[in-house]
């Protein structure tokens, strides 16, 4: 059994060299990053009650699944976390390793999927950011996360809702009209509704802490938190 979708891996491997090009194919993720970092930082530092203002994630072990070129791994590391980044694309991992080395950042990167990791080491925080819509077996994916997360650990799951609005904005708008993303980046049928994810992780002994929408403002060109879950949303859950 595997969570790896080979077609998805090939798709992102072809774009691997562009991860750190802020004007390239991953420009939307670079624009998305500030709100993601702010939200993760706030929720994590509050949950673990870390008082170091300079390194608010100090001492916490993070697992970034589907880390790509390291766009979230690096900021988490700079904020004090011990970061492990995994990706099923070897090209992505090589790009991430090269960029981290160039910037003198110590991150443990592995070409692996979550079910391939040993549960000898458990993490305080697991990041599933824009990844579950690309995996082959979502149930196996979350089971793998469960075994890798410490008790009272946090899991962040950010993805796209399966709604008419998300089809218009994330598929037609982002891929075909604005050309923010290469055509075919997303398969709308693989999008998951918040309740579907909640049901899956509740069965695995998680408690839902918060479900928050993330919305793009075309006038400010910035993302903001929102009550609107119709397109992008993030679920914060705690392992009981």
pLDDT for 135 equals 94
> What sign for the dihedral angle of Cα 135, 137, 141, 144?
negative
Fold of 6-161+190-239: Rossmann fold (3.40.50)
pLDDT at 157 over 90: yes
pLDDT for 234 equals 98
Residue with tokens 């982002």: 174
Evaluate whether 239 touches 143 at the Cβ level (below 8 Å).
no
CA 229/CA 76 separation, integer angstroms: 25
Q: What is the mean pLDDT of residues 189-207?
A: 96
Distance of CA 85 to the CA centre of its chain: 11
Name which residue leads in pLDDT, 41 or 29. Answer: 41
Q: What is the mean pLDDT of residues 68-87?
A: 97
CA 85/CA 137 separation, integer angstroms: 20
In this prediction the pTM is 0.93
pLDDT band of residue 27 (cuts 50, 70, 90) is confident
pLDDT for 178 equals 66
pLDDT at 226 over 90: yes
pLDDT for 66 equals 96
- Let me know how many helices (H) and strands (E) the chain has, helices first: 7, 8
pLDDT at 193 over 80: yes
189-228 in b/e burial notation, b at 16+ Cβ within 10 A?
A: ebbbbbeebbebbeebebeebebbbbbbeeeeeebeebee
CA 190/CA 203 separation, integer angstroms: 20
pLDDT at 217 over 80: yes
pLDDT at 176 over 80: no
Residue 218 tokens read as: 């075309």
Chain-wide mean pLDDT for the chain? 93
């Amino acid at each position: 059994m595997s969570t790896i979708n080979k077609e998805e891996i090939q798709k992102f491997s072809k774009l691997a060299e562009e991860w750190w090009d802020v004007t390239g194919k991953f420009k939307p993720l670079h624009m998305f990053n500030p709100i993601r970092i702010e939200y993760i930082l706030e929720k994590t530092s509050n949950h673990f009650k870390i008082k170091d203002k300079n390194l608010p994630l100090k001492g916490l072990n993070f697992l970034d699944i589907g880390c790509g070129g390291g766009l979230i791994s690096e900021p988490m590391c700079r904020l004090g976390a011990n970061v492990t980044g995994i990706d099923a694309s070897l090209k992505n991992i090589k790009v991430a390793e090269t960029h981290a080395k160039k910037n003198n950042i110590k991150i443990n990167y592995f070409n692996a999927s979550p079910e391939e990791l040993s549960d000898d080491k458990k993490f305080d925080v697991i990041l599933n950011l824009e990844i579950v819509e690309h995996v082959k077996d979502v149930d196996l994916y979350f089971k793998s996360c469960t075994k890798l997360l410490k008790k009272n650990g946090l899991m962040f799951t950010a993805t796209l809702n399966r709604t008419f609005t998300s089809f218009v904005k994330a598929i037609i708008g982002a891929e075909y009209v604005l050309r923010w993303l290469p055509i075919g980046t997303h398969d709308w049928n693989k999008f998951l509704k918040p309740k579907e994810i909640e049901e899956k992780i509740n069965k695995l002994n998680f408690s839902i802490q918060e479900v928050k929408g993330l919305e793009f403002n075309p006038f400010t060109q910035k993302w903001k938190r929102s009550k609107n879950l119709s397109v992008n949303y993030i679920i914060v859950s705690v392992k009981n």
